[in-house]
Every structure is written in C-alpha cells, then in structure tokens.
Amino acid sequence: MLDRLSSAIDRHLVGMVSATAVPRLTLVAVAEPIEPIDRLDEPMLCFVAGGTKRTTAGELSHVAHAGEMLLTTIDLPVTVELKKVPYRSAVVRLDSQALTELLVELDETGPATPSAVAGQVTAPMTPELVDAVTRYVQLLDTPDDIGPLGARIESEILYRLLRSSLGPILRQWSLADSTTARVREVARWICARYAEPLSIDEIAAMAHMSPASLHRHFKTATGMSPIQYQKHLRLQEARRRLVAGDATAAQIATAVGYASATQFNREYRSTYGLPPGQDAARLRARLTYTPTATTQRV
C-alpha cells in the first residue's frame, strides 16, 4: 500500500517540495542525503510513505519511519534530519473547522478525556488510513474531482485519525479552551512577536494559567521554555537572513530582537556550531550545488 502512495507522490512532484491543488496538501520527495533543515512547523500531519525522518524541538525528538505519521499540534521551531532516503511523504495541514464539523457530525463535541499537551507525536498508519491518504493524493490525477471529492476524502482522513491512537490528542486540539489550545495560542503569540521583549506574566495571564503552570505545559508540548522557544525563533530567522545575505550579522541581531551582538554571537554559535558569518558562508557554499533550503517543509 505504501508503494501506491509513494508512486502517487512521485507523479506530482516539482522539485523536492510541492504545494498542490488539493487543499492543505503538500508533497515531499528527497532522493539523496541533505543538510539538516531548520524550520517552523505548523499544525499538520506528515504521512511517511518511504524513508525516515527525525524532528528535534528543544529537548524532544521524534522519529517517523515509513508507514508512520507525525502529528504536529502547535507552531514549533524544529530541526529536521532525514535519517533514511529516498524519503517520501504527504503533508496535510490541520484544519480546525473541518475537524470541528466532523466532531459535531459524530456527536463528539463534549469534554474530551484530558491528555498531556503534545506538540508532536508519532503513530502507525492503519491500512484504511494509508488508503484514504493515497486517494487524497490521487485526486491530482483527475483535477476535476478535487472540488467534489476533496473535502469528503479529507473528512475520511480525519475520521480515521479520530479512531486511531491520535484521537484523544486531536479532540483536545479542537477544544477552544483546552490546555492544548491555550498553549497553542501562546506559541502563536510569541511567533508573531518573537523580536519583542517577552513577559512571562503577560503570556501566562493570556493563557489563564499561573507562570509555573504555563512553563510546565509549554515545555511538555515544545521541549522548551517560552524564553527558549523565542530564542529558537530568533536564531532561525537570523540564520535565514544571514544566508540570504541581506544585512550584516550585527544588523540582523538587532532586527530579530537581540540588544547585544555579543549575546547573539554566543547563542548562535552554541546552537549551530559556528559563528554567524562562517555558518552562513558554509550554507551558501552548499546551496551552490544542492537544492536544499532552510525553509523547506519535509
């Protein structure tokens, strides 16, 4: 069954990563080993049809093999490594409205069983789920079918997920006032203001939690404290700008929120292993002969 999914992905790829005409669907195929990729994941499901990938966020690491899926429930700065290639995956962004409408139809909108806040989690795909995801990708073979059938197959995928081990996590994710939803909103708030000073008391009040409770739940979900999360966002953006070569390291440090260039250089080197200028030069040299980019979704 995974061969059918891999073949469907290969038929519609342009480069390593392809957005598609099917709503919220992205296809990925990587044939050769590539540099680890820094990126900001959004709520989504990654269905791995071939190869193996590892995502690392702070102290947390998850590995998804062929036949497994990786659920991301929160905007999360991660480092992605492809541990086995060739790699193939179909990535579906989570749509809260579609999930909520399905839960209403199933009459499952009551209080969900509390579960730990999970920013990312892996699980095996059932044969029924592989089949549904394959048919979702195969809609690209017959574009006229995307409008009439796309939402129906997406709903089937969500239904299969709700009946899987990921069901409790998705139900928590759909509830407006769940702990998962509150942590997700805090993460989004930090993402939108990553260059601004961060007040733990302010974001705790926004989440209707004590600072200690927010810290605990946030770290459980992301592998990082809110301050560490903000630092990773700043460094990822700084690295992207450095590779683009649009400004000096000092200018970029200020733009992403650092008051001290010395602190920026120290934290950058601690994270990436080289000073900003040397790391950017190394990445630019690699980009002259490989299609890898630090913002690609895999």
In 3-state terms, what secondary structure has residue 30? strand
In degrees and rounded to multiples of 5, residue 268 shows phi and psi of -65, -50
DSSP 143: G
Structure tokens at 4: 């059918």
Question: Where do the domains of the chain lie, and which CATH numbers do they carry?
Answer: 2-174 (2.60.120.280)
- Cis? peptide before 86, omega within 30° of 0: yes
Q: How far apart are CA 211 and CA 288, in angstroms?
A: 46
Read off the pTM: 0.90
| Of 86, 26, 91, 77, residue with least CA distance to 294 | 77
Kindly give the confidence (pLDDT) of every residue in the chain, 298 residues in length, as a single tens digit, with 9 standing for 90 and above: 899 999 999 999 888 999 999 999 999 999 999 889 999 999 999 999 999 999 999 999 999 999 999 999 999 999 999 999 999 999 999 999 999 999 989 887 655 555 567 889 999 999 999 999 999 999 999 999 999 999 999 999 999 999 999 999 998 888 877 888 899 999 999 999 999 999 999 999 999 999 999 999 999 999 999 999 999 999 999 999 999 987 999 999 999 999 999 999 999 999 999 999 999 999 888 776 444 443 455 6
| Of 114, 250, 241, 223, residue with least CA distance to 173 | 114
Angle at alpha carbon of residue 16, lines to 11 and 19, rounded to 5°: 70
105 exposed, middle or buried (CB, 10 Å; 0-12, 13-18, 19+)?
exposed
Count how many residues are written for the chain: 298
